[in-house]
Structure 1
Amino acid sequence: SATRDTEIEAIIHDWSDPVFTAMGLESSEVEILLINEADLNAFATRGRIIGVNTGLILRTRNANELLGVIAHEAGHVKNRHTLRDGAQQAGMQPMLMTMALGALAIAAGAPDAGAVLLGNSQYFGTLSALRYMTHQEGEADNTGARALERAGESGRGLLTFFENFRSQEVFSDARRYPYFRSHPLSSDRIENLRRLVAEQPHYGHQDSPERVAQHALILAKIHAFMDAPNTTLRAYPETDETLPARYARAIAWYRDGQTDRALTAVDVLLGEQPQNPYFWELKGQILFEEGRPAEAIGAHQRSVELKPDAPLLRINLAHAMIETQDAAQITLAVDQLKRATALEADNTMGWRLLSQAYATQGKEGEARLASAEMYFAMGA
């Protein structure tokens, strides 16, 4: 299922937007969607959505590898690849032809030969579809690698990510990661990519210290929210005083019901980085989930002040305001939700809360309209 995190989305967009621009895509029109799945997978859609599983992110060894995967998926968007339709089309023709030959063989009095042809028809269709997908993957590699170079980034991460999982190609299809079922690797494909990126001037470019820290923070935050708290606390013991580790422990304690300990840890982080909207967001989330919405408002308000263009932060604030059941706060919540849905018109949570707020105010017409917008955003 899709999951939202303003901080992770903002970091990845900050890395990726120059690559999208170098590719000739309007960065504001490309949506990066986080998928809460442990499998290693990523995809691109016709609607300029790039989906990345949290499981894939956790398997990247550095920021450049994650950026390389995103550049590759953007290459599919740029080249307007419609993998499923194209692969099916490529596979159907040889499969139908083989089936027809099998039927003719049976009719001609060679049932054994006909049975063999019919039995292998799906195999020949699969081979043709695989060739089609491999061709598209090579195109996306080239487009992504060239855009990385134009943006001043190294294409090495794209290469090393694929090299790291090259052994998957020798496994049976059932044992492969989903990513390599839809993104078939081959020795030729990797060699072509190696030749391309190794000749680029920015091949030796290294991730900046800031980007290294951001990548570590992304991994820590995903682990903290997706893994069991005790697993996170073992992975990030209190002897680890790095920022990602302390962030992960604060989240793990919150999820484990150790509210006071979590709040103390967040307050320490805020003492070091008072201008960090995401630490304020976490504090507000902890207070809200603890059933203290009135106290959560201040933290969420501060997160909005620090990052006013983030619709999810406004929705968090509005939700806390609504839960106070105070008429004045609900009026303020309506304003926040109007702003949030103006920034992100397809945010179903924003429309649902707006409908709830209007209903609480007795504005049934506005409530029904907001509810209709919610269903429209859901595609219903």
Structure 2
Amino acid sequence: MKYLIATFILLFSSATPAQANLEIALPEMGDSAGALVSPLEEYQVGQSFYWQLQQSVTLVEDPEVNSYISSLGYRLVANSDDPGRTFTFFVVPDSSVNAFAAPGGFIGIHTGLMLTSESESELASVMSHEIAHVTQRHILRSFERSKRMSVPMTAAMVAAALLGIADPSAGSAAIMAVQAGNVQMQLDYSRAHEAEADNLGMQTLVNAGFDPQAMPRFFERLQIAGRFYGGSQVPEFLRTHPITGSRIADARGRAAKLESPTQVRNSEQFFLMREKLRVMASTNMRELIKTYEDQLKEDSSNQAATRYGYALALLKNGNFTQARDEINALIDSDDNQLSYHLALADVEIALGRMNAALAIYEDFQQVYPDDWALSIKQVQALLRSNQPREAVNLLQRQLDIGGSSAILYRLLAQAYGDMGQKSKSHTWLAEHYHSSGQLMQAADQLRIAADYARGDEFELAKISSRLRQIETDIAMMEEVR
């Protein structure tokens, strides 16, 4: 399998030799990027990119995977140099070893990065590096020459560059569109910015309780992997941002100074979600099942995760009874692991035993109340069982505690539709489309919702206010075109 070795955000122009000698820049709290855009505008730039990304890439929607990545991300954010900043973490289904950050705290993780990481600390080291790019406003600082551009045009430039990382074909089209408007396309992190992100990311990593040696260790593996490429086939990351021996040495030096005498333990959830992604990404389930069977014959430290992946592969392949036996064996060894019980519920649903699955969800709401993955999977089962009112109660609870996502809004739309509440159904469907970047469709849904809300002045006022907000977003996005 050919990996694109691009662990960190790619640049569109290489650094000069003089830049390589720059020392790590201190955080610029009053840098000129602050004069370029306000925090709100910065968020709008990132949101513009996130909207455009979703038009070309179907992001991973699995609630367990997303819950894990968000939890890990916010653990790092809480220990970063800007713990109060809001972030959005999401997973891109792509085998390349990659992660990237956009202004406003939007951070994407490719599935290939998680599958390649050998420990949770390695994954966390990449995420902490990207968090530092956001907190230090590196992307906006690289656009200091463009202070006179509008926020939408800045968004277009940043989005085009980032789309090239997340989805090369979409990125090429976006870059052509920007260049057609006679705008110079350039996203340029300096070597100093990269060093600053390494430095701050390392500190965040240690503050969050992870192994600082994970960063240089991962650098080293990427450097070794790069030796298998030659000529024009060398990935862009290694051409423009080589992982040099000095960079690895610098990272090792910082890690040695920050290393804790306490042994760092990887969470079991990292290994479980890594195997879940492996099963989700596989196109040859029989071959994967055989691989798992061979691994289970060996004595390894991750037997539980291997068996979990094996059970999921069996389930996906239609071997329901065998999958259930494997999962029950896992539950016997660790009855408190929620992922095992959610997998068992999936098997029960596949076997047509919806009541058994609902009983599992209900039991574990007592143990893990308001857990995101548990609640979303329970809602999906309730809707399949024609229990929309109970589904709405769970979804409303997620809204009350701050949960929000396209899948949440879509489920609310479905639940209210099943209850016959058309105005609310279309209102929530509008939020689903808005969250997914489909702004025109969002506006259309609000107009339909308004038709169903005739006679309810309060509901009409809310719908009209939201429609005006979305029309403003549409106007902003149209300035880019």
Q: Which band: TM-score by shorter chain?
A: 0.7 to 0.9
Tell me which residue corresponds to 2:43: none
May I ask how many residue pairs the two structures share in their alignment? 336
TM-score if structure 1 supplies the norm length? 0.76
Q: Tell whether the 8 Å contact from 1:159 to 1:193 is kept in structure 2 after alignment.
A: yes
Between stretches 19-28 and 56-65, larger displacement belongs to 19-28
Partner-residue secondary structure (3-state), 1:43: strand
| 1:129-278 mapped onto 2 (5 Å cutoff) | 132-167=189-224, 171=229, 175-177=233-235, 180=238, 184-202=242-260, 206-208=263-265, 211=266, 213-227=268-282, 228-237=284-293, 238-239=296-297, 242-278=303-339
CA distance in 2 between partners of 1:342 and 1:173 (Å)? 54
Structure 1 residues 183 and 370: alpha-carbon distance in aligned structure 2, compared to 1, 3 A threshold: farther
Tell me which residue corresponds to 1:371: 429
| 1:300-379 mapped onto 2 (5 Å cutoff) | 300-325=361-386, 329-343=387-401, 345-379=403-437
Tell me which residue corresponds to 1:80: 137
Structure 1: unaligned runs, 5 residues or longer = 90-128
Q: Give the AA of the match of 1:347.
A: S
| RMSD (Å), alpha carbons | 3.3
Partner-residue secondary structure (3-state), 2:107: strand
**Alpha-carbon offset, residue 133 of structure 1:** 3.8
CA distance in 1 between partners of 2:360 and 2:298 (Å)? 27
**Alpha-carbon offset, residue 262 of structure 1:** 1.2
Structure 1 residues 222 and 28: alpha-carbon distance in aligned structure 2, compared to 1, 3 A threshold: farther
CA distance in 1 between partners of 2:435 and 2:240 (Å)? 28
- 2:347 is the alignment partner of 1:295: no
CA distance in 2 between partners of 1:377 and 1:11 (Å)? 20
Between stretches 179-188 and 55-64, larger displacement belongs to 179-188
**Alpha-carbon offset, residue 231 of structure 1:** 2.9
CA distance in 2 between partners of 1:339 and 1:239 (Å)? 44
- 2:114 is the alignment partner of 1:57: yes
Q: Give the AA of the match of 1:374.
A: H
CA offsets, 1:9-30, max 9 Å, x none?
A: 5555665545433323337833
CA distance in 2 between partners of 1:148 and 1:207 (Å)? 11
Q: Give the AA of the match of 1:232.
A: L
Structure 2: unaligned runs, 5 residues or longer = 1-57, 147-185, 440-481
CA distance in 1 between partners of 2:372 and 2:93 (Å)? 20
**Alpha-carbon offset, residue 206 of structure 1:** 3.9
Q: Tell whether the 8 Å contact from 2:100 to 2:108 is kept in structure 1 after alignment.
A: yes
CA distance in 2 between partners of 1:169 and 1:218 (Å)? 27
**Alpha-carbon offset, residue 239 of structure 1:** 2.7
CA distance in 2 between partners of 1:240 and 1:28 (Å)? 45
Partner-residue secondary structure (3-state), 2:130: helix
Residue 38 of structure 1, aligned match among 77, 81, 95:
95
Tell me which residue corresponds to 2:123: 66
CA offsets, 1:75-132, max 9 Å, x none?
A: 112211217964997xxxxxxxxxxxxxxxxxxxxxxxxxxxxxxxxxxxxxxx7974
Between stretches 232-241 and 164-173, larger displacement belongs to 164-173
Structure 1 residues 130 and 77: alpha-carbon distance in aligned structure 2, compared to 1, 3 A threshold: closer
**Alpha-carbon offset, residue 252 of structure 1:** 0.7
Partner-residue secondary structure (3-state), 1:47: coil
**Alpha-carbon offset, residue 43 of structure 1:** 0.9
**Alpha-carbon offset, residue 332 of structure 1:** 1.0
By relative contact order (CA 8 Å, sep 6+), the higher-ranking structure is: 2
Q: Tell whether the 8 Å contact from 1:169 to 1:186 is kept in structure 2 after alignment.
A: no
Structure 1 residues 85 and 294: alpha-carbon distance in aligned structure 2, compared to 1, 3 A threshold: farther
Structure 1 residues 357 and 81: alpha-carbon distance in aligned structure 2, compared to 1, 3 A threshold: same
Partner-residue secondary structure (3-state), 2:129: helix
Q: Give the AA of the match of 1:305.
A: Q
CA distance in 2 between partners of 1:133 and 1:322 (Å)? 51
Q: Give the AA of the match of 1:259.
A: F
Q: Give the AA of the match of 1:136.
A: H
Tell me which residue corresponds to 2:81: 24
CA distance in 1 between partners of 2:72 and 2:427 (Å)? 38
TM-score if structure 2 supplies the norm length? 0.61
Structure 1 residues 357 and 150: alpha-carbon distance in aligned structure 2, compared to 1, 3 A threshold: closer
Q: Which structure has the larger Rg?
A: 1
Identical columns (%): 24
Partner-residue secondary structure (3-state), 2:123: helix
Q: Tell whether the 8 Å contact from 1:294 to 1:320 is kept in structure 2 after alignment.
A: no
Q: Tell whether the 8 Å contact from 2:216 to 2:249 is kept in structure 1 after alignment.
A: no
Structure 1 residues 351 and 148: alpha-carbon distance in aligned structure 2, compared to 1, 3 A threshold: closer
Partner-residue secondary structure (3-state), 2:341: helix
CA distance in 1 between partners of 2:259 and 2:73 (Å)? 19
**Alpha-carbon offset, residue 139 of structure 1:** 1.2
Q: Tell whether the 8 Å contact from 2:69 to 2:90 is kept in structure 1 after alignment.
A: no
